[in-house]
Amino acid sequence: MEFSKYIQSPIHPLEIHKELEHSYLYYQNLNPILKQRFVERSAFFIAQKKFVARQGLDLTNRIRIIISACAIQVTFGLDSYTLDNFEYVVIYPDIYESPLTHQMHRGETNLNGFICLSWKHILVGIENPSDNYNLGLHEWTHALRFNSINYEETDYFFDGYINKWVAGAMFEFANLKNGKQSIFRRYGASNIHEFLSVCTEHFFESPDEFKLNAPDLFDQMCILFNQLPSKVGSARIGVRNTLLKTNAATTVSVAEQIPVLVLEASFLRTITNMGMGLLYFSFSIVLLIIQFNLITSLVALLVVFGGILLMNYKYFTIKFYDNKLYIQSGFIESFANKLSIDYQSLIKMEIFDGNFDTGFGTVFQLNYYDGNYFSKRVAYCSSIDIPYDKIKTLLQQKKVAVLFPS
């Protein structure tokens, strides 16, 4: 969607600093180095966005600075912060009737590339920084989430980790939906997107209460946004890796543990899964038996050796420990490929069951964070009995997203 009239012009960094120092608590608490970073990001963000005034609103620089500051606060710990999908920022003086839904709104984030805000209610959120209501933080969190849904460039870690956050948020989200006691306001029960935005408001406005009542989810928020907010001092930026390493350091080695669940491949089904390769393998064995010339025997031996390596490649053992997942590809120890993934780093497991080009069995696709990048690993398990419900329950307890794509 495009708007014919808008303001798109830069604002001097000094003016941004003066306004935020006067009226924006999060900025006031930052240390000098982070204040400089905040102003630089704000200046760039303002210059990129097209601000549209509605219903006679006098669109001042102050309005553009404050609304942009809300976006910068949400994304302050992230590498990518421009939210490119949202080209237009439409601002009303007060509550307004949406031309799309024909309902009254305070704010609205639209995947078509614009965000609508009531300036009056932006101010309400800014002027009371402890009521866990902040329209600017709320809607810009939607924009951050929707930016990647609409296939625009978004922050790499946020986009990769959001499924982990969803899995970790399910306990508190379910409590809210079921009417149980919760520190989060009821509107967060609408759906998981609203819950993320409500959590973000609480995360910045009442971090101590959040950490006390939902410590695991608070840590997930810190990792997701890569910052630790504070009401009495400067927010800390870049806390993600420390939190991930701290959680990983609390685990014990696999050698000291007994698996909770083991999926051992069926040797016979692994051989069967070779498909056409099994015919070549069998034919080579026959040649070895009935032929004795050197060339034929060498070719047959090479095929047999290749078949053994192929079987080794397709033979997977998956072990679920209390603190991590262990995968071993290969029954020959010398040629085995081993991988241990801490549950804190395991984002998502997709389980495909049925007949595949590779043969019979179950395919596990794992998405995990290796400390630098998000990676995928596929394991083919030819185990005859897969306890799907037990796997799902175990991984949900570990805050890992579990999907069963059709």
Residue 102's domain is classified under what CATH number? 1.10.472.150
Residue 364 in contact with residue 349, Cβ under 8 Å?
yes
Q: In sequence order, which residues have a C-beta less than 8 Å from that of residue 71 and are 6 or more positions away?
A: 45, 81, 83, 136, 140, 143
Q: Which of 185, 216, 249 is the last residue of a domain?
A: 249
pLDDT on residue 252: 46
Q: How many domains does the chain have?
A: 2
Backbone phi, psi, residue 299, to 5°: -60, -45
Distance of CA 183 to the CA centre of its chain: 23
Do 127 and 259 belong to one domain?
no
* Angstrom distances, CA of residue 302 to CA of 22, 306, 337: 77, 6, 22
Residue 3 lies in a domain: no
Q: Among 133-137, 145-149, 288-292, 318-322, which range has the highest average pLDDT?
A: 133-137
Q: pLDDT (tens digit, 9 = 90+) per residue, 45-73?
A: 999 999 999 999 999 999 999 999 999 99
Work out the pLDDT band at 197, boundaries 50, 70, 90.
Answer: very high
285 is written with which tokens? 């064995």
Residue 82 lies in a domain: yes
Do 37 and 74 belong to one domain?
yes
Q: Bridge partners of 98?
A: none
Distance CA 204, CA 195 (A): 14
Do 224 and 110 belong to one domain?
yes
Q: pLDDT (tens digit, 9 = 90+) per residue, 1-48?
A: 678 899 999 999 999 999 999 999 999 999 999 999 999 999 999 999
Q: Bridge partners of 228?
A: 236
Q: Of residues 282 and 356, which shows the higher confidence score?
A: 282
Q: Which of 249, 273, 295 is the last residue of a domain?
A: 249
Question: What's 306's domain CATH number?
Answer: 2.30.29
Distance CA 146, CA 136 (A): 15
Amino acid, res. 392: K
Q: Of residues 316 and 10, which shows the higher confidence score?
A: 10
Residue 6 lies in a domain: no
Ordered alpha helix ranges (H), 106-239: 119-127, 135-149, 156-177, 192-205, 207-213, 215-225
Do 106 and 163 belong to one domain?
yes
Do 214 and 80 belong to one domain?
yes
Do 69 and 205 belong to one domain?
yes
Which SS3 state, helix, strand or coil, does residue 128 take? coil
Residue 38 in contact with residue 30, Cβ under 8 Å?
yes
Lowest mean pLDDT among 28-42, 225-239, 367-381: 367-381
Q: pLDDT at residue 276 above 60?
A: no
Amino acid, res. 372: N
pLDDT on residue 112: 85
Q: Which domain holds residue 282?
A: 255-403
pLDDT on residue 291: 63
329: left (phi over 0), alpha (psi -120 to 50) or beta: beta
Q: pLDDT at residue 336 above 80?
A: no
Backbone phi, psi, residue 360, to 5°: -95, 145
Residue 8 lies in a domain: no
pLDDT on residue 100: 77
Do 82 and 141 belong to one domain?
yes
Residue 42 in contact with residue 65, Cβ under 8 Å?
yes
pTM score of the predicted model: 0.85
Residue 84 in contact with residue 153, Cβ under 8 Å?
yes
Give the CA dihedral 236, 237, 241, 246, nearest 10 degrees: 10
pLDDT on residue 381: 76
Q: Which of 200, 216, 249 is the last residue of a domain?
A: 249
Do 322 and 204 belong to one domain?
no
pLDDT on residue 356: 47
Do 315 and 204 belong to one domain?
no
Q: In sequence order, which residues have a C-beta less than 8 Å from that of residue 244 and are 6 or more positions away?
A: 223, 344, 345, 369, 371
Q: Of residues 206 and 271, which shows the higher confidence score?
A: 206
Lowest mean pLDDT among 256-260, 270-274, 291-295: 270-274
